[in-house]
Amino acid sequence: MQNSENDGVIVLGATPIGNLSDASPRLREMMVTADVIAAEDTRNFHHLANALGLKITAKVMSLHEHNEAHKLAEVIELAKSGATILVVSDAGMPAVSDPGYPLVAAAMGEGIRVTAVPGPSAVLTALSLSGLPTGRFTFEGFLPRKAGERRKRLDALLAEERTMVFFEAPHRLDDFLEAAVEAFGTDRQAAVARELTKKFEEVRRASLGELLQWAREGVRGEIVVVVAGAPEPEAATIEDLLPQVAQLVEAGTRMKQAVAEVAEKAGVKKRELYEAVLEQKQQKQD
């Protein structure tokens, strides 16, 4: 479906993650001009509006993880009637570990325009302050609370080379770090960011083992954990690959095929590996 001139628009508005001064002029404008405001917590939204000195005339409705599925149709119909709907979460950008994604998907399916007022992000703020590589990263959000499920998720990240960003509750931080130590080792570098943009902002950078000892003393505030990715594996030498070829040959694979399989997997030239295999074979004969 195509968006018509009479249709409304859904606007995802990024709200401050701590410091109220981070509310952008565009966000303030949208808060006072939108026809409808869909807020994760209406009380928190009104608190933000009052703190910013804004008079809200829009209809304010709740849109959170427990009612989002039931509210989608209502919001979609409001947009189809021509309303401008501002969607806000309690902090940061909606749809990023917050309500919003199902609404965005549904709106796009109906051909309704969706746009955003960008702004504060705990993910990007913590990443940029972590002191860890920022060129490539993955956001993992909150891990499962159950120890077994949490460990399963971490085990799936053992080979992840990108910097990893996690959200965690302060009272579960030591459990998270203990699981991370078991998965990645005590020496893996990481950072714990707490109370970002607030008065008592703190970013502690250390190894996972050191951070675990610190967290066991008790940590308060909103938490983001950033963990370094796995180090890139050292490239295998031709000599390292010879036993793999020999093992395949002993199992019944033809030597040329064995060389081709091992070379392709290791990313080396087949000719060089083949010559090394022949040289080794010649040395054994001598």
- How many CB atoms are closer than 10 A to CB 239? 9
Among 243, 245, 239, which Cα is nearest to 262's? Answer: 245
Ranges of beta strands (E only) in 20-161 are 36-39, 59-62, 84-88, 113-117, 137-142
Quickly state the pLDDT bin for 33 (edges 50, 70, 90). Answer: very high
* pLDDT, tens digit (0-9, with 9 covering 90-100), for 202-248: 999 999 999 999 999 999 999 999 999 998 767 778 888 888 988 99
Among 206, 214, 202, which Cα is nearest to 188's? Answer: 206
Q: What are phi and psi of 202, to 5 degrees?
A: -145, 135
Rounded to whole angstroms, the Cα distance separating 138 from 238 reads 33
Sheet strand arrangement including 9-13: 59-62, 36-39, 84-88, 9-13, 113-117
Predicted TM-score (pTM) of the model is: 0.78
Tokens 């030591």 — which residue?
174
pLDDT of 2 reads 43
pLDDT of 6 reads 56
Quickly state the pLDDT bin for 23 (edges 50, 70, 90). Answer: very high
Contacts of 179 (CB under 8 A, 6+ apart): 143, 147, 150, 151, 154
* pLDDT, tens digit (0-9, with 9 covering 90-100), for 89-116: 999 999 988 888 999 999 999 999 999 9
Residue 114 has which token pair?
């969706």
- Please, are residues 119 and 23 in contact by the beta-carbon 8 Å criterion? yes
